[in-house]
Amino acid sequence: MTRHLRSPIVFLCQGMISLVLLAGCDKPTATKAPPPPPLLMETKVQTYDVRGVIEAIPEDGKTVTVNHEEIPNFMSRMTMDFAVKNPAILKGRRVGEAVTFKLLVTDDESWIEDLQVNASVKPSTTRIASLLASNASMKPGDPMPEVELLTEEGKSVKLSEFQGEAVAFTMIFTRCPLPDFCPRMNRHFQEARELLLKQKEGPKNWRFLSISFDPEFDKPEILVPYARTYRGDNADRWLFASASAEVSDTFAILFDFRSGANEGSLVHNLRTIVVDSKGRLFRQFDGNQWTPAELAEAIAKAAAR
């Protein structure tokens, strides 16, 4: 009787199969450990040393107006309102004092810390200060003055040409580096426009105007790509333009809208104006703490006037 011998390879394979089967029967199936939670992104803060002269100290202690020197690799000479998180740093400070401080900047906001007095100097009488001394102002319901702007398309347009539409406008400049100044105004306009466009039963007679007070730099070829970064290729009811120094002076008198060139530097604070469909002042938003929803609501009401 012939005996069939199995090769060592066959025995080896059978043994491996048995081990695998036994392992599958005796041990539970291993489960993968859940991936670790993503690390929280730390807020990146840039810090700059600033020197300047205090121009104004509002009573609320939340901001201070400083005419500051150039901040290398960040911002040219300007007079502007800086946010203050700790009002105690303004205690005892006076208009006209020369100061140094730290300017802290993130992707979303900016504020100052470590305010120190350098010396006391006599406050200068600037062109903007002289205009504000007139104490002229507008009240809701007052007719808007006639002003002429240069659009991003290089065409002249008068404010009166938008009569019949509610108009919201603010003053910006394209070189503005502080995230809570011009960039925030543009983002608020962007979100408010989206809210209004989504309203199926909402008004259609409205428009946004982003007006540069830096016409020497912000020419049409600068404004066009700048506008695209905020509104994309859809320019529906959102126009970018520039204003002359005379127009900036007019807005300074009427709205305490300090913007424009001033003795070799730029002056800038934040005001957003809403005009009703009959060309009258409807509402003024000061600063940057208002919301896009509040602006959209104001425009809807102004459009119905």
> How confident is the prediction for the chain on average, in pLDDT?
85
Q: Is 208 helix (H, G, I), strand (E, B) or coil?
A: strand
Confidence of residue 137 (pLDDT cuts 50, 70, 90): confident
> What are the DSSP calls for 248-273, one per residue?
HHHHHHHH---EEEETTEEEE--EEE
Cβ 271 vs Cβ 285: under 8 Å: yes
Which secondary-structure segment (H or E) carries 114?
strand 110-120
| 3-state DSSP assignment of residue 166 | strand
Q: What is the pLDDT of residue 185?
A: 98
Please name the residues in contact with 245: beta carbons below 8 A apart, sequence gap of 6 or more. 215, 260, 261
* Domain covering 137-303 assigned CATH 3.40.30.10 in the classification: yes
pLDDT band, residue 107 (cuts 50/70/90): very high
- Percent of the chain beyond pLDDT 90? 70
DSSP string, 133-153: TT-----TTPBPPP-EEEETT
Q: Mean of the pLDDT values across residues 91-109?
A: 95
Could you read off the pLDDT of 21-80 as tens digits, one per residue? Answer: 444 444 444 445 555 555 545 679 999 999 999 988 988 899 999 999 999 999 999 988
**pTM for this one?**
0.79
What average pLDDT score do residues 114-124 get?
A: 73
The reported pLDDT for the residue numbered 42 is: 65
pLDDT higher at 244 or 130:
244
**In 3D, which of 105, 229, 115, 69 has the Cα closest to residue 177?**
105
Mean pLDDT confidence for 270-283: 97
Query: Residue 28's pLDDT is what?
Result: 47
At the fourth CATH level, the homologous superfamily of domain 46-120 is Copper binding periplasmic protein CusF (2.40.50.320)
Reported as type and span, the H/E element at residue 66 is strand 63-68
Judged against a pLDDT cut of 90, whether residue 188 lies above it is answered with yes
Return the structure tokens found at 94: 């006076």
User: Which pLDDT score is estimated for 130?
Assistant: 54
Q: What average pLDDT does the segment 243-258 reach? A: 89
Q: Which residue has the higher pLDDT, 237 or 131?
A: 237
Pairing of strands 166-172, 271-275: antiparallel
Domain ranges in the chain are 46-120, 137-303
